[in-house]
Amino acid sequence: MAPILILSCMGHDHNEYIKQQVQVKNPYLDTMEEDILYHFNLSTKTHNLPEMFGDTKFVCVGGSGNRMKSFAQFMHKELNLPGNPEDIRDICEGTDRYCMYKVGPVLSISHGMGVPSISIMLHELIKLLHHAQCHDVVLFRLGTSGGVGLAPGTVVITDKAVDYSFRPQFEQVVLGKVITRSTELDEGVVSELLQCSHELQNLPTVIGNTMCTHDFYEGQGRLDGALCSFSQEEKLDYLKKAHEAGVRNIEMESTVFAAMCRVCGLRAAVVCVTLLNRFDGDQITSPHEVLVEYQQRPQVLVSHFIKKRLGITA
């Protein structure tokens, strides 16, 4: 029998977190004898998912496997967990599609680039959380992005994840028809994250809309792809319109992430650092070590959030 959501999934009262369970929205799932999470190389028959994952409270996802491994090692240290952080094992090592690390109540998973890649990962992740009977879970996407009118290195906590027309929605084609889902995120988590950013040094942070595109080059109005059919003026005009619509950064996964989490009753937030200001150019020119430090910023912010939630003080 599928667990039911006892209280409203989008409420903002802290007490409501207590009973929040993962709602898969598929009547067929509970009739299946076995569920193979193919891209994770896990299955309900071969793995004891409640034992492996039942205590998960925070799921952090990001594009690259190495970044999510470093984040897991960082969290291992931040949470003062026993053992050597260097020894953490990739739970999905039997497949090279995604990487997954578990450190205490934190699960760190890579999702690759773009909507199709993260959406496959999210289907399997949400089923995993359901099979493992997890509850009170908060999900974060920790990413990089192009800034719209912001200095490079600024952390953007997403208010609304919007599409190419600045609408807060995600369109999925199902059986040849378009289904539109809302991409509203949890306001409570957004304010908690903003408060966390005020408590940290050197972490310039804003709340803004995040535009999700299906491409890094033409899709984000870059003039430096292999194809370009528009002028510099047209590019700047589009970015200006985006800025007027409240867009402060551009990336490639936020809308489907927000939509799927929302439908399944999962509180979620998107926290991405900007690598450049798109009004100033398209190429990412900062030195490697600067970019490495930038991409740690969302991790530092979310780590602070997690430690506060767990009652761990510095």
Residue 163 within binding range of ligand URA, rule CB under 6 A: no
State yes or no: residue 150 binds ligand URA (CB under 6 A).
no
Q: Of ligand URA, ligand R1P, none, which one does residue 146 interact with (CB within 5 to 8 Å by kind)?
A: ligand URA
Binding site partner of 275, from ligand R1P, ligand URA, none, Cβ cut-off 5-8 A by kind: ligand URA
Strand residue runs (E) in 100-163: 100-103, 106-110, 138-147, 155-162
Q: Is 141 annotated as a binding residue?
A: yes
Shortest CB 62 distance to ligand R1P, Å: 4
In the bound state with ligand URA, the residue whose beta carbon lies nearer, of 22 and 252, is: 252
Contact criterion met (CB below 8 Å) for 104 and 75: yes
Tell me: is residue 144 an annotated ligand-binding position. yes
Any contact of residue 41 with ligand URA (CB under 6 A)? no
Find out whether 150 and 243 touch, Cβ atoms under 8 Å.
no
Stretch of residues binding ligand R1P (CB under 6 A), selected from 27-35, 60-68, 97-105, 122-130: 60-68
Helix (H) or strand (E) segment spanning residue 188: helix 187-198
CA quadruple 183, 189, 194, 200: dihedral, nearest 10 = -130
Please tell me the count of residues contacting ligand URA according to CB under 6 A. 9
108: left (phi over 0), alpha (psi -120 to 50) or beta: beta
* 149 touches ligand URA (CB under 6 A): no
Q: How far is CA 296 from the centre of its chain?
A: 14
> Is residue 159 involved in binding ligand R1P (CB under 6 A)?
no
Q: Is 275 in the site for ligand URA (CB under 6 A)?
A: yes
**Within 167-196, which residues bind ligand R1P (CB under 6 A)?**
none
The per-residue DSSP string of 5-72 comes to --S-TT---GGGGGG-B-----TTGGG-S--EEGGGTEETTTS-HHHHHTT--EEEEES-HHHHHHHH
Per CB under 6 A, which of residues 105..144 are in contact with ligand URA?
144
C-alpha 11/C-alpha 29 separation (Å) is: 27
The response to whether 220 counts as a known ligand-binding position is yes
CA atoms within 13 A on the CB side of 21: 14
Tokens of 129: 């959380």
Q: Which is nearer to ligand URA, 24 or 273 (CB)?
A: 273
Query: Among residues 9, 41, 62, 203, which is the contact residue for ligand R1P, using CB under 6 A?
Result: 62
CB within 8 A of 84, min separation 6: which ones?
none
Candidates 203, 247, 252, 269; binder of ligand URA (CB under 6 A) is 252
Within residues 218-237, the interface with ligand URA by CB under 6 A covers 220
> 90 with 100: CB under 8 angstroms?
yes
Q: Is 258 helix (H, G, I), strand (E, B) or coil?
A: helix
- Partner in contact with 63, chosen from ligand R1P, ligand URA, none, beta carbon below 5 to 8 Å by kind: ligand R1P
User: Under rule CB under 6 A, which residues in 104-143 are in contact with ligand R1P?
Assistant: 113-114, 143
A 10 A CB-CB count for 80 gives 9
Q: Which of the choices ligand R1P, ligand URA, none does residue 95 contact, using the CB cut-off of 5 to 8 A by kind? A: none
Asked if residue 253 binds ligand R1P (CB under 6 A), the reply is yes
For the chain, how long is the longest CA-to-CA vector? Answer: 57
# residues contacting ligand R1P (CB under 6 A):
11
- Which residues of the shown chain bind ligand R1P in the complex (CB under 6 A)? 62-64, 113-114, 143-144, 216, 251-253
- Which residues of the shown chain bind ligand URA in the complex (CB under 6 A)? 144-146, 216, 220, 250-252, 275
Where is the binding site for substrate, in residues? 220, 222
